[in-house]
Chain A
Amino acid sequence: GESVGLHLPTLSVQEGDNSIINCAYSNSASDYFIWYKQESGKGPQFIIDIRSNMDKRQGQRVTVLLNKTVKHLSLQIAATQPGDSAVYFCAESVTGNQFYFGTGTSLTVIP
């Protein structure tokens, strides 16, 4: 079966610092990946996605890096703000099939 995991269940960063959240996946055939953010009391919210034909994709203050060799995905948040405090989790899929989600990393931003 699929296995999508995150390296650390919790992460604390100082406001203004950069955050890096990691995700490992097991299916080498996965070709589409999404990062979600889930704030307390809310459903997951799409942050950024990347397809397997890319190594890097940038959004507003966020960057996703994909290393297919080691089946590793990371989310970088620049200049982390208190509003970034949430649970972040990755999702992977093989095109045409369902998504598999990781368990999540809880990010706490220290003012």
Chain B
Amino acid sequence: ETGVTQTPRHLVMGMTNKKSLKCEQHLGHNAMYWYKQSAKKPLELMFVYSLEERVENNSVPSRFSPECPNSSHLFLHLHTLQPEDSALYLCASSPGQTDYEQYFGPGTRLTVT
């Protein structure tokens, strides 16, 4: 256990659905991240939150909408996704935004049909 939990672990959704991914960290960290992991590709950073404020948005399509209500919770709201959005979505946290190792959750395996 890394102290970072993600729910659900698996999600299948249609292109017209709306769903949300949840991440919770129990480490007292100040920064949280969403990554996308596709087969045979490097981890792609999607969003970074530091002290509940978004500090990084790497040109992610608007069909992905993050929310960070407090320093322990991070959500990724999904709507009108495309099949190419199918991937493993990983949440991570770190003590600070930069220059720290990141602790990853187990990920949510998302399949868009």
Interface residues of A (CB under 8 A from B): 4, 32, 34, 36, 41-46, 49, 89, 91, 93, 95-104
Contacts and interface: CB of A to CB of B under 8 A. Distances in A.
A45 B98 contact: no
Interface of B: 2, 4, 6, 40-43, 45, 48, 56, 90, 92, 98-99, 101-107
Given A44-B90, A103-B41, A98 B105 contact: no
27 contacts: A34-B101, A42-B106, A43-B2, A43-B92, A43-B105, A43-B106, A44-B43, A44-B104, A45-B104, A46-B101, A46-B102, A46-B103, A49-B101, A89-B43, A91-B43, A93-B98, A95-B98, A95-B99, A97-B98, A98-B45, A98-B48, A98-B56, A99-B45, A101-B42, A102-B42, A103-B41, A104-B42
A105 B104 CA distance: 18
B104 A43 contact: yes
Given A44-B104, A95-B99, A101-B43, 13 more contacts: A4-B42, A32-B99, A42-B107, A43-B4, A43-B104, A43-B107, A45-B104, A46-B101, A89-B42, A98-B45, A100-B42, A103-B41, A103-B42
4 closest Cβ pairs, A-B complex: A43-B104, A101-B43, A101-B42, A46-B101
Q: Name B's interface SS.
A: loop
Q: Which of A34, A43, A45, A101 has the most CB of B within 10 A?
A: A43
Contacts of A36: 104
Contacts of B103: 46
Contacts of B104: 36, 43-45
Nearest to B103: A46
A98 B34 CA distance: 12
A27 B75 CA distance: 32
Nearest to A48: B101
A99 B102 contact: yes
Contacts of A32: 99
A98 B96 CA distance: 12
Nearest to B42: A101
- Kindly name the residue among B4, B42, B107 whose own CB sees the greatest number of chain A CB atoms within 10 A: B42
